[in-house]
Structure 1
Amino acid sequence: MKRVFTFLLLAILLSLTGTAYISAAPQQHVIVIEVKNEPLASVLAKLEKASGYKVQYVNSDVYGVKVNQAVNAADVKAALDQILKGTGLTYVIDKQYVVIKKQTVTASAGQGDEFIMTGRVQDESGLDVPGVTVMIMGTNNQGTATDVDGRFSLKVKVGQKLKFSYIGYKDQIEVVKPIHNRKMMKVEITPDSKNLQEVQVVAFGTQKKESVVSAITTVRPGDLKTSNSDLTTNFAGRIPGMIAWQTGGLPGALTESQMQTKFYIRGITSFNSSANTDPLILIDNVESSKLDLSRIAPEDIESFSVLKDASATAMYGARGANGVIMVTTKKGNAGSVYTTVRYESVISQPTQDIEVVDPITYMKAYNQALLSRVPDSTPMYSVERINRTQSGKYPSWLYPAIDWKKKLFKNFSWNHHAGLNIRGGSQKVQYYAALNYNYDEGMLKTDKLNDFSCNITNHQLQFRSNLNIDLTAGAQLVINSVTTIDKYHGPMLDQQSAYSYMFNASPVDFAPTYPADKDHNWPHILFGTTQSKKTNPYALLQQGYVNRTRYSVTNQAEYIQKLARLVKGLEFRARASAVVTGYYNNMFYTRPYYYALTGYDQETGEHQLTEVRMDMYDPTRTLIASSGNGGTTTTTMALTGTLMHTAAWGGPDKNRHQTSLTAVAQMEEKTFSPISDVLNGQPQRNLTFSGRGSYGYLDRYFAEMSFGYNGSERFAKKNRFGFFPAGGVAWVVSSEPWMKGLRNTVNFLKFRFSYGKVGNDGIISTPRFVFLPVLSSKSVGSDPEANASQSFKRRVISSYANPDIKWEIAEQYNLGMELKMFKGVMELQADVYKEYRHNIISTRTTIPASMGIEVDQLANIGETYSRGVDLSAKLQKMFNNDTWLILNGTLTYNKVTYKSIEEATDKPAWQRKVGKEISQPMGYIAEGLFRDQAEIDNSPRQDGDVMPGDIKYRDVNNDGVIDVNDAVFIGYPDTPRLIYGFNGSFNYKCFEFSFFFQGSGQRSFFMNPSSLSPFVNDHALLKSIYNNHWSEDNQNVHAFWPRLSPYSITQHNPQEDWYNSSNNETRKSTFFMHEVKFLRCTQLSLAYNFPTKFCRHIGFKNAKVYVQVNNPFMITNFHDWDVELGENGFNYPIQRTYTLGVNLSF
């Protein structure tokens, strides 16, 4: 029995071995090919189909060669012998590949002749490696790169040396051997652990990743790719430590205030509303704006890093107080020219429409609301009016029933994005150039009688040029230049308002336009209104347009000199940069004709219009140009000098001790034009000296100290300079000898800790110089003996001088862990942090009025405390060359509370801010809706015309009255505490599929009841309000909306008056409070990479076509509008896009 079992086992093993062999190579069978004087390339293509082998060759080798002999062979070798007979060509067979090459007679005769060398590059696991650079050493730029199968072919000579280079792997050098020793070259490249770790970008340089003690996140540029022309829309959920969200989807932002995204590093920790809370943005080490960041194409990015703690940002001084975003664009490579072309066609539409009731329901509901509040009143719309509107028998302009969305907006917009980049160079000069163009448009309609377009269009063009020149063996010159031009065209009406107006116009009281009557029969648009001058959003949209232009030009030159002849490891860098940004705005408008329908003859069908003057001006009815903005220009000049030294010594490999020293001096000046006044005409200047020293022992223990010494013009002389130190330590546990047995499981484990202080001089926007008083003029009355229009003015103080104001300081602590397991299959990075920020500038509120101070005085009296966590995780597995999987996830949590703030002493304890979150709102607690009059009578007294179905509030202090003392802190802050995301990519053969989900939570927003109250100021009636409001038939005390009313909700519930003019109090309640909580699928993408053979036949190196959907769906419990907009629900909506794109490289 045992022998039988052994025999069966051997049979199974032999069977499996045979199966593996058969699957590894094409099956052998008789090959028959009919040939009639055909080109060799055509015959070789037929051979591929007949044999199953893949045939490779150089086009020039087979060009013009004809074959005139039919092929009938037992195997592929015999077939090749027949095909290539008399052609001067030979072949090499390697598994399923056949390489055709020129024939050489003898080894000795071919020593100096060029021939085609073919080869294959694999890694230590035997997997083919695409993209490996193959260079002939000793030549300027002769070389190539491996294809997707790891193969290459190159003209070489015997004895030449080939250098194989690939990021993260050691350079491999192979010698070209004589023919009798040469077959297809097989090269195995091995990982270079040192190079793998020398990729972390830090302030003013790079470091080994294992030696970094700071909290730094590096993002793969491909993860930032989006069909939106604004890069910043893709930040949320992809970058741990980044708090980001969208505020709208309007195209064509040309100023930072128009941008539709907000993003902060580890939240907002300063509560002064005009303080600088934005991160420092550096593009190729040049300070740049958020707009410049938004314009970068992901294809141009080499590395994208976010510096989050004090030890990472200390060298940037005050500029890096709120974190740093560092972007490095691509540089040139020595070797063949590599060109990539990209084109995308994008269809864009809103992620969600706000639904309103139809016009008939609107009229009926209006009558219901009126009678509900005033039972004996006359209905606004008669039954006859409603029936005639509904019948459809009358002209649409006589009894209008308007869908304002359909009238104002198209269903979608069509955008186009294109890019071209070229990369290459020689051993002396390397270059990268890119040209990107984006065309984006809006969804606004233009009337056919208008001779100008009212829709939004934005043309964006960017040219980038990066040049590296090796002047000598130790000297290099880097020249970078980028120019961006935006040309915007759009309606004169504010674009955000264009969307909101369709919810603020009656759908039944007038027509958008009227046909001409006998008295107004000439070509022009007859816009509709009423005798009471109701707003016509269509007229506002069509009355004019605005043209805006923005340009940004950045030029940078850096000289790098290695000083190894003086001191080994010493390097000096000098950099100069200039950034010029300009903005121009010109408006063109007409004063439209408005008409009210004042007569209609039912028998003849004739109608009568009466012109309505909407303003006091006599309309000229011509196109008028308004200069709007003569143009503004900002120029920023910067000079930076850097001295660096690195050294290593000790131990067998002279690498036991490692040190690095960096010293930086930087000056920056910013000027503006035109100059509004003498004070603001002065250039803005800052000066920074910074340094960093690091030490590493045994590649296991690391320590680092850094500092920034900054000067700011904003403070008095005694406080003008600030010194801000930072330090950190790191321990690579996985390098300990006692971890050796676990290294196959735990490949890398590091703990790090940092502490430091950073200063911020952007404490308030105005006044610019807080140590000087600001005077202004104020009218104090008229001269009774002079003309009545003449008034007395006197000088008043707008801001008192305070020479004691100094830097806002943030003390930051960070504890981090980095882990890699199972040979890099799993990665985890976690950071826990806290920050204590003090010297926050705020107004004094406890100075008694008897002091006679006209305005509140500024002082450093605020303190905040924040804490949070950043997490990122990654799973990646490559099953073979054709199949791989990558999964990523991030999570960011941040909470910021008041630690100290000066408040009025008579405030109730529950209204004091200390311990509360800095943007947490204050308001009333709504306990639902009043059920009946008896409940109103037995409840605490509250102002307003209260009826059953109106909002009931909690009496917090139990005094029997609902007033300002009952307001408490409610909900979450208006900045999200929680941001998370997860994405994945799967590749199988030529197909790639990827997805991304992003979520947010613990952020509150309020629906503005004054803006949403139906019927008031012709507000639309939202379906959600109509379907779930309190009524006699639906006495749900937790209904979505209170009892309907034709009057403002503040008449019944004054507590909902957001901005009470009588006491400047902001009032809100939990009734209209909601949480911005959602999980959005932000991207689904499917791509097809054409096979290498096909690409080669059409003259390309790679070709890829893809389809992508952005924002296809969202999971949330709020459905009135896209919840990410928060209270800005009537803003231009966030967009869902459908993209068809193609990438070609050659």
Structure 2
Amino acid sequence: MNHFRYKQLTACILTGMGILAAGSLRADAARDTIPASLDTLQSVAYAEQPRWKTTAAIAGISGEELRRSSVPTLSNALFGRLPGLTVMQGNGEPGYDAPSMLVRGISSYRGTRLLTFVDGFESPFDQFAADEIASITVLKDAAATAMYGIRGANGVLLVTTKRGFVGKPRIAFSAQTGWQSPLRLPDFLGAYDYARLYNEALQQEGRAPRYSQADLDAYRAGNDPYFHPNVNWYDEVLKKTAPTANYNLNIRGGNNNARYFVLLNVLKNTGLYKNTDPEKEESANASFLRYNFRSNVDINVTRRLSASLDLAGRVEDRTYPGTDAPTLWYNMMLIPPNAFPVRNPDESYGGTSVYRNNPVGLVLGTGVASTHDRSLQATMRLNYRLDQLAEGLVASAAVSFNNWFRGNDDKTKEFAVFQLSRNTAGDTVYTKFGDNTPVAVNDWQNDQWRRTNALLSLAYDRSFGQQEVNALLQYQQDVYTISGNNVPYAHQGIAGRVTYAYKRKYIGEFTFGYSGSENFPKGSRFGFFPALSAGWVLSEESFLQPQAAWLDFLKLRASWGLTGNDQVGGRRFPYNQYYSGGAGYYFGTDNHAASGIDEGSLANPGITWETSRRLNAGLDAVLLRNRITFTLDVFDEKRYDILAERNSSVPGYIGVGLPAENVGSVRNRGLELQLGYRRPAGKRGPGYFVEASAAYARNKILYMAEVQQPYAYLNRTGQRVNQPFGLQAIGFFRNEADIAASPQQVFAPVRPGDIKYKDQNGDNIIDIYDEVAIGHPFVPEWTFGLHLGLQYKGFDLDAFFQGVANRSVMLQGPLVWAFVNNAGAPPMAQGRWTPETAATATYPRLTTAPNDNNYRSADFWQRDGSFIKLRNIELGYTLPLSLTRLVKLDHARVYVNAVNLFTLDHVKIADPEVLYGYPVMRSVNAGLRLEL
């Protein structure tokens, strides 16, 4: 193996704490085999470590990579990027499109929220600008999260912001503008097909048709828009595209005494609603306007004392129609196309006694709702080198204040709708429902929270010949206060880590957290959470040299440890007994009333947190002179002390609510894999890279104290968390003889064409006791990522695909159930069962009345929720230096990109991530980036 000289890093900026851990400068001529990239630092809990020394399960992404994903909400750039981090799209509504995130799937049926830390302190990061991010790292195993103690079991996401450097000021400016459109919208039948199928449904029920042949002809011809309308509500309410824009300016630089990074970012994301008032007086489109500001300053006060001051703030203004988005989108999906015209001949809003929520009126006639968010985070750190006591010893103190406020400024109103009819004389009659009300102004505080943190620590970093010792000991406290809650949430604890490395070959680490929460009884609030990990760099062993010249780096690692989760769910302070006002009683001859008090669920004075016991084994490899990288992790986690009520062992006739007790447990196992190949550009051809990743996690409920079931297959114990249950469909009833010969289905009287279900227990009755586990949970078990890149003569192409598997979705409601709750009809209803189509039918017989047999939780309505999406693709061109220097620029690049360009899936009728509501958005953008 080729040898090259290396110089160990002399200082490690522990960005989580701002600690300067000074180490000794050395050069070891005998062992210089680690590629330079493995000496780069990566974030760990409250610190940074060289990559070769890390023994925990960690994955990270740089801010430069995130910047290529042009999404308004930063967390939406993480889909598939970090193996082990499952990111699930919420919706596409501007300002409210943040996804949910899980680390290594689900390990508890109670609280699963991960922790997010920004520069060492807990904070949300969804609305950060990509340009202020240096890196994002996910901590996955016990060795990585034990320092977070009672709160680390669900994983931790570390966000590190950019800082200054020693050098001349660098100014970067970027501007991007683009258009976004729905990735996929549901489709519904037009008025003619709706009316035709509605008549057929009435016929199936033995009733007279609602629509005459003349009505059907008018719907088909479309020549009577007021009395025979054919309205596509999505076309009436939504524009085809909506603009977005993002502008960024940042400056960074400094000298040996002071370094700085300053950023200003402006983002505007506009919604899809059409014909709204641009002045936002009468109505408003959905819009999100955000201003980000950040200033990170590092100062060397003296030779020993250094300080940093970080200030970051955001202004977020959101404006929407006076009707909330779920109501609006539900009515667009629900209302049939022939229910009423959008507007009547006199321009009043159409409607009926059944359909009073005209979707266009919900956008244009309900006024304006707006929220105004203001947030400010300030962090100050002091680091003092104590080399006079021990070389490499640093003491640090840090405080952080994080405040967020939301105010509402609403100008809302209501509108009347008018139903058209004709009297005997043929005149048009307007029947009014509702009222046109004046604007009601409401200016009020919606919500507010503040968080105060303090950290005190000692860090030690020293080398003794071929031995390296790193240690960190810290005290932390966090007080979090929410508006309307006089009792703050509080966490407190100490944590530490000791890392020992010998010959850059053998690595051992001990990590612990001793922390507590105010939500548990006095005397039982604190727990101890240790973790052990080790690494063996085999590529440093003589038996692999020089025979394995192709092997640059190979490390085995393993970890074991405990972490906690204090998000146990339920009420606060569950160790206290609560009482509430209840029914009263009348006493005496005058029937004097006396109020009563009800006893709530029993208190549990022994309640505690969930505990996670985790085992992780991993392998890291670098091959062929840094061309190939490979990482593999396998893990086994047992989560125990999960809260559950002992409904199966305590009878209900005791007459009191049972307390939640720490008796539940879940096992979660899986693996994560990354494989990459990179060829740098050269004289002989272009540079390119291919990076693929896969992550798998499957859980199993070991115990949850559920109610005793009469059949084993009904138990949730032994199944996955949130496993769907339902009936198994085995076709449609063919005729009355088939119904008579089949088990009795109790949900509703059945007729030919209704869904036929499997009798699971053989009792000749189909009821709730025939529901079994069907499909997969909503959260995918497999997550895949494929990252491709190409660079050639100034051009660069970057594409990222994400996919998920072992995931199911349940179709229900107006999206697929024809005529239910006066809904329209989906295209799939054209495959309905009739006596003529019995052999080919793909949909049950149509009914206008509620059909409790056909529209149940069943695998008939379940679909494979797997998908592949092109999350991001970008083509850019960097101008040659010979041109940019003419205008005194160091760098100039133009680019075009697209987000969520296409989806491959099995659902088809709606986006597999967001079935209902404001859809996932596709965007196409063009941008420019300049640096000087």
Distance 1:602 1:333 in 2: 85
Distance 2:560 2:877 in 1: 48
- Secondary structure of the corresponding residue to residue 332 of structure 2: helix
Equivalent AA in structure 2 for residue 689 of structure 1:
I
Work out which of the residue numbers 528, 543, 551 in structure 1 matches 2:374. Answer: 551
Distance 1:599 1:938 in 2: 51
Work out which of the residue numbers 880, 888, 903 in structure 2 matches 1:1114. Answer: 903
Work out which of the residue numbers 530, 533, 537 in structure 1 matches 2:352. Answer: 530
Distance 2:113 2:590 in 1: 52
Retained in 1: the 8 A contact 2:681–2:791? no
1:773 counterpart residue number: 577
Work out which of the residue numbers 245, 256, 272 in structure 1 matches 2:88. Answer: 245
Alignment of 1:840-859 (within 5 A): 840-849=642-651, 852-859=654-661
Distance 1:824 1:1084 in 2: 25
Distance 1:883 1:1023 in 2: 49
2:262 counterpart residue number: 433
Q: Deviations over 1:237-261 (max 9, x none)?
A: 11101112213211112xxxxx441
- Secondary structure of the corresponding residue to residue 702 of structure 1: strand
Equivalent AA in structure 1 for residue 254 of structure 2:
G
Label 1:171 to 1:333 Cα distance change in 2 as closer, same or farther (>3 A).
farther
Residue ranges of structure 2 left out of the alignment (5+ in a row): 5-24
2:16 counterpart residue number: none
Retained in 2: the 8 A contact 1:445–1:454? no
2:118 counterpart residue number: 283
Q: Deviations over 1:891-923 (max 9, x none)?
A: 110001111121223431111223211111121
Label 1:454 to 1:1047 Cα distance change in 2 as closer, same or farther (>3 A).
farther
Alignment of 1:1088-1099 (within 5 A): 1088-1099=877-888
1:837 counterpart residue number: 639
Retained in 1: the 8 A contact 2:585–2:596? no
Label 1:1031 to 1:840 Cα distance change in 2 as closer, same or farther (>3 A).
same
Aligned: 1:979 with 2:783 = yes
Distance 2:912 2:586 in 1: 52
Equivalent AA in structure 2 for residue 527 of structure 1:
Y
1:294 counterpart residue number: 126
- Secondary structure of the corresponding residue to residue 900 of structure 2: strand
Distance 1:538 1:784 in 2: 60
2:615 counterpart residue number: 813
Work out which of the residue numbers 728, 753, 763 in structure 2 matches 1:949. Answer: 753
TM-score (norm 1): 0.76
1:970 counterpart residue number: 774
Structure 1 residue 437 displacement after superposition: 0.9
- Secondary structure of the corresponding residue to residue 1124 of structure 1: coil
Aligned: 1:886 with 2:721 = no
2:397 counterpart residue number: 574
Identity percentage over the alignment?
27
Structure 1 residue 791 displacement after superposition: 7.7
Retained in 2: the 8 A contact 1:300–1:329? yes
Alignment of 1:300-699 (within 5 A): 300-374=132-206, 377-394=207-224, 396-446=225-275, 451-516=281-346, 526-532=348-354, 534-542=356-364, 543-599=366-422, 607-612=428-433, 614=434, 619=435, 621-627=437-443, 629-649=444-464, 654=465, 656-673=466-483, 675=484, 680-699=485-504
Aligned: 1:720 with 2:525 = yes
Label 1:1040 to 1:856 Cα distance change in 2 as closer, same or farther (>3 A).
farther
- Secondary structure of the corresponding residue to residue 608 of structure 2: coil
Q: Deviations over 1:133-165 (max 9, x none)?
A: xxxxxxxxxxxxxxxxxxxxxxxxxxxxxxxxx
Bigger shift: residues 876-885 or 744-753: 876-885
Structure 1 residue 536 displacement after superposition: 2.0
Structure 1 residue 953 displacement after superposition: 0.7
Distance 2:697 2:268 in 1: 37
1:905 counterpart residue number: 708
- Secondary structure of the corresponding residue to residue 709 of structure 1: strand
Equivalent AA in structure 1 for residue 771 of structure 2:
A
Equivalent AA in structure 2 for residue 251 of structure 1:
P
Label 1:791 to 1:506 Cα distance change in 2 as closer, same or farther (>3 A).
farther
Label 1:962 to 1:780 Cα distance change in 2 as closer, same or farther (>3 A).
farther
Retained in 1: the 8 A contact 2:403–2:450? yes
- Secondary structure of the corresponding residue to residue 362 of structure 1: helix
1:803 counterpart residue number: 605
TM-score (norm 2): 0.93
Retained in 1: the 8 A contact 2:815–2:826? no
Bigger shift: residues 1116-1125 or 574-583: 1116-1125
Distance 1:553 1:282 in 2: 15
Work out which of the two has the higher radius of gyration on C-alpha atoms and give 1 or 2. 1
Retained in 2: the 8 A contact 1:1009–1:1049? no
Structure 1 residue 813 displacement after superposition: 0.3
Alignment of 1:692-1091 (within 5 A): 692-764=497-569, 766-780=570-584, 793-849=595-651, 852-880=654-682, 883-943=686-746, 944-1009=748-813, 1012-1026=816-830, 1028-1036=831-839, 1039-1050=841-852, 1052-1053=853-854, 1056-1057=855-856, 1068-1091=857-880
Structure 1 residue 1009 displacement after superposition: 4.8
Retained in 2: the 8 A contact 1:893–1:978? yes
1:271 counterpart residue number: 109
Distance 1:922 1:792 in 2: 46
Residue ranges of structure 1 left out of the alignment (5+ in a row): 1-123, 126-169, 173-189, 254-258, 517-524, 1058-1067
- Secondary structure of the corresponding residue to residue 79 of structure 2: coil
Structure 1 residue 562 displacement after superposition: 1.2
Higher helix share: 1
Distance 1:407 1:808 in 2: 51
Structure 1 residue 345 displacement after superposition: 0.8
Q: Deviations over 1:1027-1063 (max 9, x none)?
A: x2222232146x442111112232x44xx44xxxxxx
Structure 1 residue 924 displacement after superposition: 1.2
Aligned-residue Cα RMSD (Å) equals 2.5
Label 1:246 to 1:850 Cα distance change in 2 as closer, same or farther (>3 A).
closer
Alignment of 1:24-173 (within 5 A): none
Retained in 1: the 8 A contact 2:80–2:802? yes
2:9 counterpart residue number: none
- Secondary structure of the corresponding residue to residue 488 of structure 1: strand
Retained in 1: the 8 A contact 2:95–2:288? yes
Structure 1 residue 223 displacement after superposition: 2.7
- Secondary structure of the corresponding residue to residue 718 of structure 1: coil
Work out which of the residue numbers 217, 220, 226 in structure 1 matches 2:59. Answer: 217
Label 1:1009 to 1:1131 Cα distance change in 2 as closer, same or farther (>3 A).
closer
- Secondary structure of the corresponding residue to residue 248 of structure 1: coil
Structure 1 residue 531 displacement after superposition: 4.6
Structure 1 residue 1020 displacement after superposition: 1.9
Structure 1 residue 959 displacement after superposition: 0.7
Structure 1 residue 688 displacement after superposition: 1.0
Q: Deviations over 1:211-266 (max 9, x none)?
A: 2111111213233232211111122211101112213211112xxxxx44111111
Structure 1 residue 781 displacement after superposition: 7.3
Equivalent AA in structure 1 for residue 290 of structure 2:
Q
Aligned: 1:1104 with 2:893 = yes
Structure 1 residue 697 displacement after superposition: 1.1
Retained in 2: the 8 A contact 1:332–1:468? yes
